Amino acid sequence: MADLPPLNGLRAFEVAGRRLSFRAAADELGVTQGAVAQQVRLLEAHLEVTLFERVPKGLEFTSVGRSYHARISVAFASLRSATAELKPEPDKVIISVTPTFAARWLIPNLPDFAESHPEIDLRILATEKVSSFHSDGIDLAVRQGSPPFGAALRAALIFRQEVIAVAAPEFISEAFDSLTPDDLAHLPKIHDTHDLWPRYLADLGVRDKSQRGLRLSQTALAVDAAIARQGVALVSRFMVSRDLEAGRLVEVGAARDIGGSDFYLLIERSAANQHAVMQVVNWLKSRSAKET
């Protein structure tokens, strides 16, 4: 061990050589720029050679520094490989979903996924914006809409947009013993960005006659408001199945199939050979099939 140069200096040199910048190396290592520079200076002093030329835009290798870095990089790569074989990282799969889909369906089902696939690190990107497979680095996505979604994507239907009207049982018991379409028309409505109430009531042959309503930006918030006895919400049945079973909500309006807004699982055609991704795809299809 006495013949080895300082290992912290070797690590700082390896990263700085890849980035050709003390600042970038400091960001990667989680230390200060001065600490990286100091470690490299100590290594140069130990070796009695100059490894880098300091230039205005960063660093340049000296000839001996370039040769030394090539061999040091191989050594560090070998260390990383040996560690990975000893303790392999789980396969990582990133799925993009809306916050409502994540909160109301995906997260409650994660215990089943973790038990079935402990080797897969499933990461959830919950956002209202449409994520890009390339720029956002996602592997899968759940989207509402109707095909086609693009020639490079494969789409699998996982849930139809069958919406039901739901409310807290206490809210309904305080107002009505049994609901007719006209009764429903008079109840306070909870609206979200999908604004499905006008179409839903039109299908029932009535119009909204409520004196007040609540408007929220997400369906998940509309469900929470319904549970809190703030009115009646429209939501896909699969998103409130647990609340219906637990008695937190009751169904107060007939189901309606809202065409053009079904839920699809999207995957790049080129990802068909990626084992971990396909394992997640198969689990999602199987799990959703149990609830349809």
* Prediction pTM value: 0.65
Number of separate domains in the chain = 3
H or E element at residue 35 = helix 33-47
Residues 112 and 78 in one domain: no
**pLDDT average, residue stretch 118-145:** 87
| Angle in degrees, 0-180, between the axes of helices 275-289 and 107-116, rounded to the nearest 10 | 120
**Between residues 137 and 209, which one has the greater pLDDT?**
209
Lowest mean pLDDT among 35-39, 49-53, 256-260: 256-260
Residues 128 and 249 in one domain: no
CATH code for the domain of 79: 1.10.10.10
**Residue 2 included in any domain:** no
- Residue 149 pLDDT grade (very low, low, confident, very high; cuts 50, 70, 90): confident
Q: What integer best gives the mean pLDDT of the chain?
A: 89
* Full domain range(s) for residue 229: 162-257
pLDDT at 83 over 90: no
Cβ atoms within 10 Å, residue 176: 14
Q: Measured between alpha carbons, how far is 128 from 100 in angstroms, rounded to an integer? A: 9
Sheet architecture: strand order including 162-167: 213-215, 189-191, 232-236, 162-167, 250-257
**Residue 1 included in any domain:** no
Contact 245, 222 (CB under 8 A): no
Q: What is the pLDDT of residue 33?
A: 94
Q: What is the pLDDT of residue 16?
A: 94
CATH code for the domain of 285: 3.40.190.10
SS (H, E, C) 207-247: CCCCCCEEECCCHHHHHHHHHCCCCEEEEEHHHCHHHHHHC
Residues 95 and 239 in one domain: no
What are the two backbone dihedrals, phi and then psi, of residue 137, each rounded to the nearest 5 degrees? 65, 30
Residues 21 and 77 in one domain: yes
Residues 238 and 171 in one domain: yes
The listed range with the strongest mean pLDDT (92-106, 164-178, 255-269) is: 92-106
Contact 156, 285 (CB under 8 A): yes
